[in-house]
Amino acid sequence: MAGFGVSRAGAILAASDFERSLAFYRDLLGFEVEALYDDPPYAILSRAGMRLSLAEQGHTAPDHDVVMTAPADPSRAAAMLVLEVEDAHAVYEALKAEGADFVAPLYSPPWGGHRFFVLDPDYPDSPPFAVSLGEA
């Protein structure tokens, strides 16, 4: 049944260190904080029309019994958030100067453009969740 409208799409990520994850998405990647909640810690962020929510791991919500948990095995990719930017080289250098951790250096695939992957601080060893930034 695809006959319904969608006003915005988004994702909810489990955060093992809520404040660190909030700082990563807000301060390093420039997401705007739409709402913050304390008990349990939860944030609603947005950027370029996308909604990204951060939930401190280990809690259920009033409307379901699903417990959000960061992956136990950081060597498996669960998801990637994709942000398209105008100048991947400039953004890469700016994030590098801010101390961001990368999966690998900036890459220029044979089909054109440039891209790189920034590690979410909840997954520092490998990218079960990484942010792919590349040119549109």
User: What string of DSSP letters covers 91-134?
Assistant: HHHHHHHTT--BSSS-B--TTS--EEEEEPTT--SS-SEEEEEE
Q: Which domain holds residue 5?
A: 1-65
30-50 mean pLDDT: 93
pLDDT of 109 reads 81
pLDDT at residue 128 tops 50: no
The answer to whether residues 25 and 84 belong to one domain is no
CATH assignment of the domain containing 50: 3.10.180.10
Total number of domains constituting the chain: 2
pLDDT at residue 84 tops 50: yes
Q: Which of 19, 36, 65 is the last residue of a domain?
A: 65
Q: Which of 65, 80, 98 is the last residue of a domain?
A: 65
pLDDT tens-place string over residues 89-117: 888 898 899 888 887 788 888 878 888 88
